[in-house]
């Protein structure tokens, strides 16, 4: 007996066929005549409607596939909105399979002499671009776009990658009048669905209905008289149908001190948790996709283990680098410094390496994964216990520890353990010292993979970033302040300063330090520019002539010649999103100002101490006179990197009080 299958697809569209909210090409005249969006008169453009549907369907030829269809319509309201005349469609590919786009229609509508005139974009307005190893971009440009134009696009995507269910953004950086997403998912597929952002949905509906497809089979009998018989099986299943929609959605506007907008734009996300197929399918039973963090730990280790423990040719190089060093920490630092100084990061992220550690060593460059895999392999050759730590960079978004999927990670660093000390290392950055990750990595916790089980690791440095300004000045009879301004920088403030010094030079750095202040610099000196483990030190010999105001024999001046907070960065009445300072920090300003003979202190700012609850932020300020010297001390400290929007009012008031104290002046009068 011989058995084969032929393809036939029959999908029953149920009563869940509510009319779409938009029809391609059906442009209302009132939208063409719109000049201002009533809900936001400042809007440069508005999404009039954005509608899409994702459907999982089955055919005997291709199996289950994911079909995505979308229509999007935008109105251009000002010249600034002309930048919206571009659109990008990401298409995933792996092995010999790739997502395919079809039915692409791109049309511009303009009102000319009272009539709507169409301009269709041609083939030269569509081009492709590679984003990464698994994603290509189809980029589209509308043509004949003017202020007042309506732009419309429609397309379909068919995908074999059921795990790559389309997420949906309800919110963009321009306001949206209507956004709607529908999904039809057979019972065989279970997706975790989670909303993010602060937009309330106007529609959130779910229903379950029956659907079916048919499978045709043919069977040929053997014997003296061969014959072929045909049969048809009807496979019925339950289909889960979803509809989500929102109207009058405000534009997403970034606020000061916030992480990537990817974390806060209102959207719905999908992650394939598991599939469960009946006996009719060859892959019947339950298959987990989301798995667990334990599974992710094991899978990642199995894939990269050889890359770390192999490459034995590196052992000789490691022996040379660590020659004469006895302490494990000394060896770790020496290897880190070698990789950091000699291997160039090509600015690609990634958690897997395309090239071996040996090839990266030979070519002297690589992606973040390749550079840090090389670092890990060399540390392993030195006999040092090292683990890889998977992270999500700040621009990639925060990690949801309740959703165990590896796609949340896009970067990898090293963790070396020496005694009871754990040190995080990333050799891609030329300006951060041992134990401090680049700022792009400071995003919650990292996922440390290990044979004996994974561990969540806090990525924050163990010490604050600290900047100390010291001013030793003499007030002359000509109302000039002369003396030295010293700056000591640790942590990220030192890293940023070193990067500017090495890329632009000391002269350009000094120019930026002075800014728009009318200072005369006799000389500037720098210490420890290359010694990353030491504070970066600056000494500037200055004459400051514009700082003193004289009126009727009375002198007025601020005790702050540097490090003055002139305005509150928090200006909104209400904060929508959390406040992210990236890392804890401290800024200390110390000044000693000698006043001239013939003057007496008439007024000094009052000392003050204030803090946020639980000492999350603290400010201390004191000004005191000792003979002809005025001593100033100002200490501004942020002890937490992340604050919720509920804490915004207190935080805003805290900054307002700092600005107010910094605005107070010292008053001198002639005797």
Give tens-digit pLDDT for 534-563.
999 999 999 999 899 999 889 999 999 999
pLDDT at 7 over 60: no
Other beta carbons within 10 angstroms of residue 605's beta carbon come to 20
Q: How far apart are CA 189 and CA 272, in angstroms?
A: 7
Question: If you ran DSSP here, which 8-state letter would residue 328 be given?
Answer: H
Give the whole-angstrom CA distance, residue 521 versus residue 241.
Answer: 71
Asked if pLDDT for residue 302 goes beyond 60, the answer is yes
CA distance 381 to 307: 12
Residue 585 CA, chain-centre distance (Å), reads 21
Instruction: Give the Å distances, CA to CA, from 137 to 89, 98, 261, 446, 651.
Output: 6, 12, 21, 29, 42
Q: Do the Cβ atoms of 659 and 566 come closer than 8 Å?
A: yes
Query: How many residues can be counted in the chain?
Result: 671
The residues, ordered by sequence, that sit 6+ positions from 23 with a Cβ below 8 Å of its Cβ are 71
Span 134-141, average pLDDT = 92
Annotate 600-661 with DSSP letters as a single string: EEEE-PPPEEEE-GGGSEEEEEEEEEETTEEEEEEEEEE--SEE-GGGHHHHHHHHHHHHHH
Residue position matching structure tokens 């511009």? 108
Give residue for tokens 């520019």. Answer: 529
Q: Residues 78-113, buried b or exposed e (16+ Cβ, 10 A)?
A: eeebbebbebebebbbeeeeebeeeeeebbbbbbee
* pTM score, whole prediction: 0.84
Q: Quick one: pLDDT band at residue 227, thresholds 50, 70, 90?
A: low
Task: Tell how strand 135-141 and strand 97-98 pair up.
Answer: unpaired
Read off the pLDDT band of 18 (50, 70, 90). Answer: confident
| Residue 317 DSSP SS3 | helix
Q: Compute the average pLDDT of residues 163-190.
A: 96
How far are the Cα atoms of 17, 62, 181, 244, 381 from residue 187, in angstroms, in the given order? Answer: 19, 19, 19, 19, 50
- What domains can you pick out in the chain, each with its CATH number? 26-211+242-288 (2.60.40.3140), 293-458 (3.10.620.30), 465-670 (2.60.120.1130)
Q: What is the mean pLDDT of residues 634-656?
A: 97
pLDDT at 254: 87
Under the banding of pLDDT at 50, 70 and 90, the label for residue 224 is low
Using alpha carbons, list the distances in angstroms from residue 537 to 45, 526, 564, 644. 49, 6, 20, 35
End-to-end CA separation in angstroms for the chain: 118
DSSP string of 459-523? -S-SS-EEEEEEEEEEE-TTS-EEEEEEEEE-HHHHHHHHHHHHHH-HHHHHHHHHTTS-EEEEE
Range with lowest mean pLDDT among 37-41, 58-62, 149-153, 566-570: 58-62
- pLDDT of 12 over the 50 cut: no
Could you give the residue ranges of the DSSP H alpha helices within 66-188?
Answer: none
Q: Please give the mean pLDDT across all residues of the chain.
A: 92
Give dist(CA 339, CA 322) in Å, integer. 13
């Amino acid at each position: 007996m011989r058995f084969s299958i032929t393809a036939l697809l029959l999908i029953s569209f149920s009563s869940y066929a509510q009319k779409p909210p938009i029809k391609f090409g059906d442009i209302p005249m009132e939208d063409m005549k719109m000049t201002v969006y009533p809900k936001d008169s400042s809007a440069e453009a508005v999404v009039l409607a954005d509608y899409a549907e994702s459907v999982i369907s089955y055919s005997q030829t291709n199996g289950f596939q994911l079909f995505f269809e979308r229509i999007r319509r935008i109105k251009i309201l000002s010249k600034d909105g002309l930048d919206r005349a571009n659109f990008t469609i990401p298409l995933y590919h792996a092995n010999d399979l790739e997502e395919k786009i079809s039915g692409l229609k791109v049309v511009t509508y303009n009102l000319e002499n009272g009539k709507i005139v169409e301009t269709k974009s041609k083939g030269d307005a569509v081009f492709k671009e590679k984003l990464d190893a698994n994603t290509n971009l189809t980029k589209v440009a509308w043509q004949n776009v003017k202020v007042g134009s309506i732009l419309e696009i429609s397309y379909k995507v068919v995908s074999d990658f059921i795990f790559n269910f389309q997420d949906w953004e309800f919110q963009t950086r321009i306001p949206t009048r209507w956004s709607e997403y529908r999904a039809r998912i057979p019972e065989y597929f279970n997706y975790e669905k989670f909303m993010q952002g602060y937009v309330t949905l106007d529609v959130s509906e779910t229903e379950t209905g029956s659907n079916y497809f048919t499978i045709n089979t043919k069977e040929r009998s053997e014997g003296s008289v061969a014959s072929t018989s045909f049969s048809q099986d009807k496979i019925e299943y339950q289909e889960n149908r979803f509809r989500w929609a929102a109207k009058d959605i405000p534009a997403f506007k970034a606020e000061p001190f916030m992480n990537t907008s990817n974390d806060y734009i209102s959207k719905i996300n999908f992650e394939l948790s598991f599939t469960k197929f009946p006996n009719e399918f060859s892959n019947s039973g339950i298959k987990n996709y989301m798995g667990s963090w334990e599974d992710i730990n094991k899978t990642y280790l199995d894939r990269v283990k050889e890359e770390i423990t192999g490459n034995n040719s590196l052992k000789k190089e490691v022996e040379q680098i660590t020659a004469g060093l006895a302490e494990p920490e000394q060896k770790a630092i020496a290897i880190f410094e070698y990789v950091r100084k000699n291997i160039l990061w090509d600015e690609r992220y990634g958690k897997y390496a395309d090239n071996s550690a040996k090839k990266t060593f030979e070519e002297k460059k690589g992606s973040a994964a390749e550079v840090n895999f090389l670092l890990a392999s060399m540390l392993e050759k030195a006999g040092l216990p090292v683990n890889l730590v998977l992270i999500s960079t700040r621009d990639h978004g925060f990690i949801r520890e309740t959703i165990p999927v590896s796609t949340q990670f896009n970067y990898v660093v090293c963790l070396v353990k020496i005694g009871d000390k754990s040190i995080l290392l990333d050799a891609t950055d030329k300006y951060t010292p041992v134990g401090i990750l680049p700022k792009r990595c400071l995003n919650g916790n990292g996922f440390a993979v290990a044979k004996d089980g994974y561990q969540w690791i806090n990525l924050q440095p163990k010490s604050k970033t600290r900047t100390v300004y010291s001013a030793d000045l003499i007030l002359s009879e000509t109302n000039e302040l002369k003396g030295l301004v010293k700056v000591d920088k640790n942590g990220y403030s030192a890293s940023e300063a070193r990067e500017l010094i090495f890329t632009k030079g000391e002269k350009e750095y000094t120019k930026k330090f002075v800014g728009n202040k009318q200072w005369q610099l006799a000389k500037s000196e720098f210490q420890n520019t290359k010694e990353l483990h030491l504070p970066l030190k600056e000494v500037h010999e200055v004459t400051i002539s514009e700082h003193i105001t004289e009126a009727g024999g009375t002198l007025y001046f601020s005790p702050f010649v540097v490090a003055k907070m002139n305005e509150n960065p928090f200006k909104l009445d209400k904060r929508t999103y959390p406040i992210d300072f990236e890392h804890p920090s401290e800024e200390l300003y110390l000044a000693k100002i000698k006043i001239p003979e013939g003057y007496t202190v008439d007024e000094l700012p009052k000392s003050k101490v204030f803090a946020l609850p639980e000492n999350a932020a603290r400010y201390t300020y004191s000004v005191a006179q000792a003979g002809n010297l005025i001593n100033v001390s100002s200490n501004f400290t942020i002890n937490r990197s992340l604050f919720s929007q509920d804490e915004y009012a207190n935080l805003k008031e805290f900054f307002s009080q700092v600005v107010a104290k910094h605005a107070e002046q010292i008053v001198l009068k002639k005797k």
